Structure 1
Amino acid sequence: MSTARVWSDGPHYRHRIRTGEHDLIADEPVAAGGQDAGPAPYDYLLAGLGACTAITLRMYAEKKGWELGELRVELTLLKNREGDTRIERVLHSDAGLSDEQWQRLLEVAGKTPVTRTLQEGATIETRRGDDASAA
């Protein structure tokens, strides 16, 4: 189970995030009215998907005895005029992988836990908390 807590205490759109033992900051870019004090929410979404992809591929390669070298995952979130969202994910490795190895890595990337969650969707339940002292 993963958990996160987010506090909105300003300024503007800057928010504090606590997940596990890690403290993070989220904000919006200056062009969107923020101060660019940290990644925007979609940046965190892409970072989570990219990290899950890289971790999963590294684990898979280790089990297979494959050397991945430096693995890089580049992600871009795109929205069209109709509001449809698409994420482009491009994998890079400086190791000399065969076409067969690349094909398998691409298949595995399509099945990572975060990939599946995004593709399948998640039920989100929102309710009112008792009070602000829960922070």
Structure 2
Amino acid sequence: MQYKLALPVRGTIGTAKYQCTIKWRNGRFIADEPPSSGGEDQGPDPYTLLLSSLVTCTLVTLRMYIERKGWEIPEIKVNANMFQEKKEDGTHTIIDRDISFPGNTADAEQKKKLLSIAKNCPISRILEGEVKIRSFMMK
């Protein structure tokens, strides 16, 4: 097994209510909860971070494909949101992702292909696939 990241994403929390410091290989940022959940909204909440991963991956994947094809599509916009439904067999999470190309710079055939490419970005595949979370107690 080989981890995707050379260094893990690291997080700590102190006594500032719900503010977490997240560190990665080259920097750090604050994650926080909104005031409605008792936080101070000093950074993105966990749902925003999850959706940001999908948005970022979609944008980068589409940009790479567009460049490889040599298409003139100067801007891509992606919006994502989610909702959850309680059903008899558990909670179902639905993520909606809206993709647009301002100025109508992509034709219908390009849009169809790019939608297919977006559905196969690495984070989409992770979210659509089977995910298991293993938790360990560190020494």
Q: TM-score, normalised by structure 2?
A: 0.89
Helix, strand or coil: the match of 2:86?
coil
Shift of 1:122: 2.1
Deviations 1:11-55 (A, max 9, x none): 110000001212011110000011111100010000011000000
- Which whole-Å CA distance do the structure 2 matches of 1:121 and 1:44 have between them? 20
| Identical pairs, percent | 34
Q: Residue 37 and residue 104 in structure 1: after superposition, are their counterparts in 2 closer, same or farther (change >3 A)?
A: same
In the alignment, what sits opposite 2:55? Answer: 50
Deviations 1:54-110 (A, max 9, x none): 000000000001122211100001112332100000001125211000000000000
Contiguous gaps of at least 5 residues in structure 2: none
In the alignment, what sits opposite 1:37? Answer: 42
Shift of 1:121: 2.8
CA RMSD of aligned residues (A): 1.1
1:117 aligns with 2:126: yes
Matches within 5 A, 1:6-45: 6-45=11-50
In the comparison of the two structures, how many residue pairs are matched? 130
- Which whole-Å CA distance do the structure 2 matches of 1:128 and 1:79 have between them? 30
For 1:128, give the aligned amino acid. M
Helix, strand or coil: the match of 1:84?
strand
Contiguous gaps of at least 5 residues in structure 1: 131-135
- Which whole-Å CA distance do the structure 1 matches of 2:66 and 2:15 have between them? 43
In the alignment, what sits opposite 1:76? Answer: 81
Which aligned runs of 4 or more in structure 1 are off by greater than 6 angstroms?
A: none
